[in-house]
């Protein structure tokens, strides 16, 4: 049984039918779920004989998504007329997160959002948002099955890939996710290959990301009797080892395996004046609530933010918020 209501699906169908052209857009610095959701949405629009453009601000630094980069453009090749065109944003809810140039271009278009982040403030009638969903790709699968029918082999592989990347290959799923595994089994029945997908996600990492991982581990510090582990990446670190991106997932996994730890905080200096931060936690700690205090958001156990500031100024403020929930 689908978690998406008939009303929500009907709203999306009507939205699609009432426009001829679409921009499909995900968040900047895309991950596997973002890419899979975008491609899945494109397949739905194809079934309605609609024109579309796939847009992404990039960069496509994650090795597992590199092969999809050529299917996306940073800016529209052709600007669609606003009278009969619209935007569908997947895997994020804030227009600002799609990138400055793209957000400026799409700001006056009709908009529909499909997402699984609980910090969304989207219009109820023009969105499909379920924080209980493990990935936006999972929502796209349910929408496709509801509107069109079973997925073919190629699309099953793409959606399976997206679900795997956002669930840590199912590590983040709890005992109340039997419906998710039922949906996943349908993808496998249709041709998705679990072993091949695991290899695709976990191989091909640049050696520099292993070096950077070592740097971040060496800088990690424990707080509040080991309940919080904090680390960071400076501009110099990025210059030396970060040009090919970073393997944040491995960093979080390693640090969350430490005895007594309940949460991990990673802050990166993006520019002289801006930082991004990533949060991960175990069951009880809601890091999305902490991220939201700094303009970020995400899920209970995985969140992020981008803000003005430096590592030296931002870290103490975030650690202070963690103190309120860990001490």
Q: What tens-digit pLDDT sequence spans the chain (327 residues)?
A: 589 999 999 999 999 999 999 999 999 999 999 999 999 999 999 999 999 999 999 999 888 999 999 999 999 999 999 999 999 999 998 888 899 999 999 989 999 999 998 766 788 899 999 999 999 999 999 999 999 999 999 999 999 999 999 998 998 888 899 999 999 999 999 999 999 999 999 888 889 999 999 999 999 999 999 999 999 999 999 999 988 888 888 999 999 999 999 999 999 999 999 999 999 999 889 999 999 999 888 888 899 998 999 999 999 999 999 999 999
- State whether 270 and 299 are in the same domain: yes
Q: How far apart are CA 234 and CA 210, in angstroms?
A: 16
Q: Which two tokens stand for residue 286?
A: 């809601």
- 141 with 19, same domain: the answer is yes
- Please state, in angstroms and rounded to a whole number, the distance separating the CA atoms of residues 209 and 30: 17
Please report which helix (H) or strand (E) contains residue 280, including its range.
strand 274-281
- Give the residue numbers spanning the domain of 153: 6-200
Number of domains comprising the chain: 2
Extract long-range pairs of 80-84: CB within 8 Å, 24+ residues apart. Answer: 80/21, 80/22, 80/23, 80/51, 80/53, 80/109, 81/21, 82/108, 82/109, 84/19, 84/20, 84/21
User: Within this chain, do residues 183 and 216 fall inside the same structural domain, yes or no?
Assistant: no
Q: Is residue 123 part of a domain?
A: yes
Closest to 19 (Cα-Cα) out of 50, 42, 54: 50
**Which residue, chain included where needed, has tokens 């949405």?**
41
pTM for the model stands at 0.86
Does the residue 1 lie in any domain? no
Instruction: Give the three-state DSSP class for 309.
Output: coil
> What are phi and psi for residue 307, nearest 5 degrees?
-155, 165
Q: Is residue 79 part of a domain?
A: yes
The torsion of the CA quartet 298, 108, 98, 22, rounded to 10 degrees, works out to 100
Distance CA(298)–CA(301), nearest Å, equals 8
């Amino acid at each position: 049984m689908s978690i998406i209501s008939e009303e929500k699906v009907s709203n999306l169908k009507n939205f699609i039918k009432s426009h001829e052209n679409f921009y499909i857009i995900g968040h900047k610095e895309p991950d596997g779920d973002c890419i899979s959701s975008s491609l899945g949405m494109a397949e739905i629009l194809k079934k309605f004989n609609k024109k579309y453009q796939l847009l992404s601000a990039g960069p496509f630094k994650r090795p597992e998504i590199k092969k999809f980069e050529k299917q996306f453009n940073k800016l529209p090749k052709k600007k669609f007329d606003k009278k009969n065109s619209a935007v569908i944003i997947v895997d994020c809810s804030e227009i600002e997160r799609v990138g400055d140039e793209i957000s400026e271009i799409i700001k006056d278009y009709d908009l529909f959002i499909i997402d699984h982040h609980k910090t969304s403030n989207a219009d109820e009638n023009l969105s499909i948002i379920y924080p209980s969903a493990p990935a936006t790709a999972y929502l796209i699968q349910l929408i496709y099955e509801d509107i069109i029918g079973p997925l073919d082999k190629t699309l099953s592989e793409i959606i399976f890939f997206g679900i795997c990347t956002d669930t840590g290959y199912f590590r983040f799923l709890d005992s109340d996710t039997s419906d998710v595994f039922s949906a996943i089994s349908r993808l496998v029945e249709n041709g998705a290959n679990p072993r091949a997908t695991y290899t695709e996600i976990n191989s091909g990492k640049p050696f520099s990301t292993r070096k950077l991982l070592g740097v971040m581990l060496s800088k990690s510090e424990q707080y509040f009797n080991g309940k919080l582990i904090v680390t960071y990446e400076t501009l110099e670190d990025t210059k030396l080892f970060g040009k090919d991106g970073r393997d944040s997932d491995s960093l979080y996994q390693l640090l969350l395996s430490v005895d007594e730890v309940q949460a991990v905080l990673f802050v990166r200096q993006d520019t002289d004046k801006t930082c991004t931060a990533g949060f991960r936690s175990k069951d009880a700690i809601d890091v999305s609530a902490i991220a939201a205090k700094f303009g970020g958001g995400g899920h209970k156990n995985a969140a992020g933010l981008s803000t003005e500031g430096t590592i030296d100024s931002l870290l103490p403020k975030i650690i202070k918020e963690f103190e309120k929930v860990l001490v």
